Chains A and B, each alone.
Chain A
Amino acid sequence: MMFVKKAMGTVCAAVMTVLVGQSPMPVQAADTVKIGSVLSLTGGAATLGDPELKTLQMYVEEANKTGGLLGRRIELVHYDDGSEPAKANGLIKRLLEDDKVDMLIGGTTTGASMAIYPLVEKAKIPFISLAGATVIAEPAKTWMFKISHHDRMVGEKVMADMKARGITSIGMLSDTSGYGQSARKEMQAVAQRLGVTIAVDETFNTKDTDVTAQLAKMKNNPAVKAIFVVSFGQGAIVATKNIAQLGITLPHYQAHGSASKEYIRLAGAAAEGVRLPAPALMVAAELPDNDPQKQISLDYAAAYEARYKTDLSPFGAYTRDAFFLWADAVKRAGGFDKAKVRDAIESTKGLAGTCGIVTMSAGDHLGLDVSAFKLVTVKNGAFVLAD
């Protein structure tokens, strides 16, 4: 009943707004600063958006407990785009025009981030995107920054490892999602550059429940010396299980989208021995003590798991890094002026996060190189460093 009352109140407020032309929100005190966030909390990318929001909420609350940022309380305004980029485009107008936020963190998917960006540029507000595709940061866009590794780096890390093990001819299985299509193109380019032949290049739909047909082609082709699955979530798990079912013993690589405990839990024994690039976070305990990423990653993992009683995910970690990238820039800029904060983010130097050590420049709005990835393998149901 409370909910109905509250909803009715909002309806009345909205009607009043249209009639009277006043914002329904109470006037914000000057001592708050607003982060606006559009995330995919429902729909296909919900497994990414959920840890992203939880992480953001956790750090905003934590910062407020210790007096906020530069003495101002942080307020988080977030909306769900339902994994629908067009909806994100509408919601961002609400954040910019109605909620009047000072900073944007979000855009769970590449589609949403790209749909948002034209409005971001018009509004001249700094925006840290959580999405994965290279296009977000290449070429660098004035007001948009990227936090997660490029898909190209995944290819570089994986194929460098293949070559180190003497593998130069592989079978690649990528999905047909936006991520899979973009990544597949990047992988083909990297393979050519590093001298790796993709002998069998197959695709599948992320909703497929069986990919043995594609895998059988790889099994029966003697040129295939390793299998590289470029996917995430359910698709990656189905492929992993099928590889085990077909009794394929070739080296098996996955992309960083599978770097979550969820993947190991759902793929079970089939995941044993799989090699993949992952953020340092996933193997934090194994890192040497003087590694600047170690303590940060352990702290994040402990705080997240204690608060939400669920396993951490790299997507939450990206959000953590985005929040601190912003907080660091604000401190250096000495205020919340949008242009100054943008300049400060761009001049970030050597900022350690869970996903890498960030050094940005005018031409590099990601600030990570391939060393930000650790090559890990699955051993006894856990990720361990491969080397």
Chain B
Amino acid sequence: MTSLFLNSRWPGLALLTVVVMALPAILPNAFYVDVAIRIAILAINGIALNLLMGYTGQISLGHAGFFGLGAYGSAVLTSHFGVPALLALLASAAFTAVIAYGVGRVILRLRGHYLAMATLGLGIIVSIVLTNEAAWTGGPDGMAVDGFTLFGFTPSGERQWYWVFAVLLVGTVVLAQNLIDSPAGRALQALHGSETAAAVAGISVRQRKIAVFVLSATVSAVLGSLTAHYSGYVNPGLAGFLQSVELVIIVVLGGMASIYGSVFGAVIMGVLPQVLAGYEGWDSVAFGVIMAAAMIFLPRGVVPSLTAWLRSPNRRRGEGAAC
């Protein structure tokens, strides 16, 4: 029974869908719905980064930069040029994809620490441009963003936006799982294991890396656009280094190469600061202790470690890719 549950992807998806459907009914007020939305945003971003980091093994410390490009792309195009929101979203996503392709071609030749440094630089450059081009972006104080109208419907209020992000989250999970189980996804995991072996097996290592980099960046850009419309306000902080680090934490804490791991990581990163907000001064300490404890006791990430533990009585090997 357990092994059936753990090895099929349907029960997990069903559980996620039920939770997502049921949440609005039990969340008492708009603040909680807002927290849920922010968790969904973190989860989708986490999944996008996990495809790159967890499955393909290419670290990115500048991923929030792509999120920021999407957010600012939509903000600038809709406010300064009066472009319809949907068109602005698509244009920002396309622009981000082109940037990611151009940059990816160069920096994905690097490996390990060098790749980490290059992506770090990329994220910081985006954040500096957003800060300094004040005439377009409003500078460090940020700028306001109008609502999002799609086919005559404008989501307003947390509860309507909730469904937008809920559908997006479930959709991202389904697509990510499909990708991973496809030949392309297996190729990515193969080159994570050993690039040389993957190349010998006939996988075009460089193209695969660039493709997943562009995919991951584009998903984040689309999400950035929607987030900008949802919160009605953007500032350079959302493309900053700390945001990128937060995404890496979500991936690592939840579990590398685990889709639900990223969802779980996002729940932790979304809820913990709110729970700790009342303990001013201690919140950072508690946060650090929890992070360190998770890494010491569940080094593979929470979800993979727990699934491995659940599996062990049935299959004595207790190994294998999670979820």
Chain A positions within 8 Å of B, measured between CB atoms, are: 3, 6-7, 10-11, 14, 17-23, 41-42, 78-80, 84-86, 89-91, 93-94, 96-98, 109-111, 114-115, 118, 133, 135, 176-178, 181-182
CB <8 Å contact, A6 and B233:
no
CB <8 Å contact, B277 and A79:
yes
17 contacts between A and B (CB under 8 A): A7-B279, A7-B282, A11-B275, A18-B27, A19-B26, A20-B26, A22-B28, A78-B280, A85-B142, A86-B235, A91-B277, A97-B34, A98-B29, A111-B235, A133-B141, A178-B141, A181-B139
Q: Is B292 interfacial (CB-CB < 8 Å)?
A: no
In the bound complex, how far is the Cα of B27 from the Cα of A79, in angstroms?
22
Q: Is B215 interfacial (CB-CB < 8 Å)?
A: no
Decide: A114 near B144, CB < 8 A? Known: A18-B26, A21-B26, A86-B235: yes
Beyond A21-B27, A86-B231, A114-B233, list 10 extra A-B contacts (CB 8 Å). A3-B282, A7-B286, A10-B275, A17-B28, A18-B32, A93-B34, A97-B34, A114-B142, A115-B235, A178-B139
Give the residues in chain A near B134, CB-CB below 8 Å: 181
Q: Is B150 interfacial (CB-CB < 8 Å)?
A: no
In the bound complex, how far is the Cα of B28 from the Cα of A42, in angstroms?
30
Distance in Å: Cβ of A181 to nearest Cβ of chain B: 6
Could you say which of B30, B38, B233, B278 has the most chain A C-beta atoms within 10 Å of its C-beta?
Answer: B233
CB <8 Å contact, A118 and B140:
no
Give the residues in chain B near A3, CB-CB below 8 Å: 279, 282, 286
In the bound complex, how far is the Cα of B29 from the Cα of A6, in angstroms?
24
CB <8 Å contact, A6 and B279:
yes
Q: Quick one: closest B residue to A53, CB to CB?
A: B280
In the bound complex, how far is the Cα of B24 from the Cα of A18, in angstroms?
10
Type the 1/0 row for B280-308, where 1 means its CB is closer than 8 Å to any CB of A.
10101010000000000000000000000
CB <8 Å contact, B139 and A17:
no
Type the 1/0 row for B237-275, where 1 means its CB is closer than 8 Å to any CB of A.
110000000000000000000000000000000010011
In the bound complex, how far is the Cα of B158 from the Cα of A177, in angstroms?
32
Give the residues in chain A near B233, CB-CB below 8 Å: 85-86, 89, 114-115, 118
CB <8 Å contact, B286 and A17:
no
Q: Quick one: closest A residue to B29, CB to CB?
A: A97
Distance in Å: Cβ of A107 to nearest Cβ of chain B: 12
Cross-chain pair count, CB within 8 angstroms:
97
CB <8 Å contact, B277 and A111:
no
Q: Quick one: closest B residue to A123, CB to CB?
A: B30
Q: Quick one: closest B residue to A116, CB to CB?
A: B233
Decide: A111 near B29, CB < 8 A? Known: A10-B275, A118-B233: no
For A10, give its contact among B26, B27, B35, B278 (CB under 8 Å): B278
Distance in Å: Cβ of A96 to nearest Cβ of chain B: 7
The 9 closest A-B CB pairs, nearest first, are A97-B31, A178-B140, A98-B31, A111-B141, A97-B29, A21-B26, A97-B30, A178-B141, A85-B235
In the bound complex, how far is the Cα of B232 from the Cα of A21, in angstroms?
27
CB <8 Å contact, A7 and B276:
yes
Give the residues in chain B near A182, CB-CB below 8 Å: 141
Q: Is B207 interfacial (CB-CB < 8 Å)?
A: no
Q: Quick one: closest B residue to A42, CB to CB?
A: B284
Q: Quick one: closest A residue to B272, CB to CB?
A: A11
Q: Is B204 interfacial (CB-CB < 8 Å)?
A: no
CB <8 Å contact, A93 and B31:
yes
Chain B positions within 8 Å of A, measured between CB atoms, are: 26-32, 34-35, 38, 132, 134, 139-142, 144, 158, 231-233, 235, 237-238, 271, 274-280, 282, 284, 286
Give the residues in chain B near A109, CB-CB below 8 Å: 141
CB <8 Å contact, A96 and B231:
no
Decide: A98 near B277, CB < 8 A? Known: A110-B141, A114-B142, A178-B140: no
In the bound complex, how far is the Cα of B5 from the Cα of A240, in angstroms?
68
Give the residues in chain A near B279, CB-CB below 8 Å: 3, 6-7, 10
Distance in Å: Cβ of A238 to nearest Cβ of chain B: 19
Distance in Å: Cβ of B45 to nearest Cβ of chain A: 14
Q: Quick one: closest B residue to A113, CB to CB?
A: B141
In the bound complex, how far is the Cα of B38 from the Cα of A91, in angstroms?
12
CB <8 Å contact, B139 and A85:
no
Q: Quick one: closest A residue to B38, CB to CB?
A: A90
Give the residues in chain A near B280, CB-CB below 8 Å: 41, 78, 80
CB <8 Å contact, A17 and B34:
no
In the bound complex, how far is the Cα of B32 from the Cα of A98, in angstroms?
8
Q: Quick one: closest B residue to A41, CB to CB?
A: B280
Give the residues in chain B near A18, CB-CB below 8 Å: 26-27, 32
Distance in Å: Cβ of B52 to nearest Cβ of chain A: 24
CB <8 Å contact, A86 and B32:
no
Q: Quick one: closest B residue to A78, CB to CB?
A: B280
Give the residues in chain A near B27, CB-CB below 8 Å: 18, 21
In the bound complex, how far is the Cα of B235 from the Cα of A3, in angstroms?
34
In the bound complex, how far is the Cα of B139 from the Cα of A349, in angstroms?
35
CB <8 Å contact, A114 and B275:
no
Distance in Å: Cβ of B276 to nearest Cβ of chain A: 7
Could you say which of B26, B30, B31, B278 has the most chain A C-beta atoms within 10 Å of its C-beta?
Answer: B31
Give the residues in chain B near A86, CB-CB below 8 Å: 142, 231, 233, 235, 237-238
In the bound complex, how far is the Cα of B275 from the Cα of A41, in angstroms?
18
Distance in Å: Cβ of B138 to nearest Cβ of chain A: 9
In the bound complex, how far is the Cα of B161 from the Cα of A93, in angstroms?
15
In the bound complex, how far is the Cα of B140 from the Cα of A110, in angstroms?
9
In the bound complex, how far is the Cα of B40 from the Cα of A304, in angstroms?
44
In the bound complex, how far is the Cα of B275 from the Cα of A6, in angstroms?
11
Decide: A111 near B232, CB < 8 A? Known: A3-B279, A86-B238, A96-B31: no
Give the residues in chain B near A91, CB-CB below 8 Å: 277
In the bound complex, how far is the Cα of B282 from the Cα of A178, in angstroms?
29
Distance in Å: Cβ of B13 to nearest Cβ of chain A: 21
Distance in Å: Cβ of B166 to nearest Cβ of chain A: 16
Distance in Å: Cβ of B163 to nearest Cβ of chain A: 18
Q: Quick one: closest B residue to A185, CB to CB?
A: B134
Give the residues in chain A near B278, CB-CB below 8 Å: 10
For A14, give its contact among B29, B142, B275 (CB under 8 Å): B275
In the bound complex, how far is the Cα of B284 from the Cα of A91, in angstroms?
17
In the bound complex, how far is the Cα of B28 from the Cα of A135, in angstroms?
35
Give the residues in chain A near B235, CB-CB below 8 Å: 85-86, 111, 115
Give the residues in chain B near A135, CB-CB below 8 Å: 141
Distance in Å: Cβ of B207 to nearest Cβ of chain A: 36
In the bound complex, how far is the Cα of B274 from the Cα of A79, in angstroms?
10
Give the residues in chain B near A110, CB-CB below 8 Å: 141
